[in-house]
Amino acid sequence: MIVYHYTSSWHLPWILASRELRPPSHSIADFPSPDFIWATTDPNGDNTATARTSSRAYRSGGLLQVRFTFEADEFFPWDDVPHRHPQWTEKHIKALEASSGKSDPRAWRCRPEALDVERALAIDVRSYSNNKWRSAGNLDVRQAKNMDGSLWLVMQLDGKVVASKRSLAKFGAEAFEAGTIAVPFESLAVAQKI
């Protein structure tokens, strides 16, 4: 059996440069630690997937959805959480499930530890205009410094150059900003491990 982890083209360069998927370093709402890397058995994702966080950018072509495919044994079923992490009480579990809308918690999988991206069976992308999943292709990540010294990571995905900058948002969450790069992709330095 396989499972899928969903993210976006804004996150992908940072994931690849770190060489691992990592659980968030902050806790959302009043949920306990650990937070998890999330996956699902649904090959089409669900409404809780990260890539759905900016539907306007997705529809306009400024954001691609990204899907990592893993062996199911890299994750454990959501209903195992209370046994593995008793700090996740029934109250926490019910609150998260209630907030998920039409998503089916029986399809949820999670893991609290980082996961090496080399363990991915596939990394695929899709766009709003071409909703069919296809290989992300070349996963070469480059870096650029803006005039203000901020670090941007850059990739070529689906025939486009994708650039994103990471910063801290409220409550220690990560925020990502998309941008454009005015120099040829090949002229940029290869990204160092972050």
**Residue 53 has what pLDDT?**
57
Please name the helix (run of DSSP H) or strand (run of DSSP E) that holds residue 18, with its range, or none: helix 12-18
As a whole number, the mean pLDDT across the chain is 88
Task: State the CB neighbour count (10 A cutoff) for residue 30.
Answer: 8
What is the tens place of the pLDDT at every residue in 133-160? 999 999 999 999 887 888 999 999 988 8
Copy the structure tokens of residue 81.
């959480």
Asked whether the bond before 34 is cis by omega within 30 degrees of 0, the reply is yes
Contact 55, 62 (CB under 8 A): no
Tell me, what amino acid is at 105? P
Q: Are strands 122-126 and 65-71 parallel, antiparallel or unpaired?
A: antiparallel
φ, ψ at 172 (rounded to 5°): 80, 5
Beta-carbon neighbour count of residue 110 at 10 Å? 21
Residue 98 is given by DSSP the state H
Asked whether the whole model's pTM tops 0.85, one would answer yes
Segment 178-185 long-range contacts (CB within 8 Å, at least 24 positions apart) = 178/10, 178/57, 178/62, 178/63, 179/152, 181/144, 181/152, 181/154, 183/144, 185/142, 185/154, 185/156, 185/161
pLDDT at position 193, please?
81
Q: Which residues pair with 67 in a beta bridge?
A: 6, 124
How does pLDDT run across 5-55, given as a tens digit for each residue? Answer: 999 999 999 999 999 999 987 666 678 888 899 999 999 887 665 545 567
Distance CA(38)–CA(36), nearest Å, equals: 6
What mean pLDDT is predicted for residues 177-184?
83
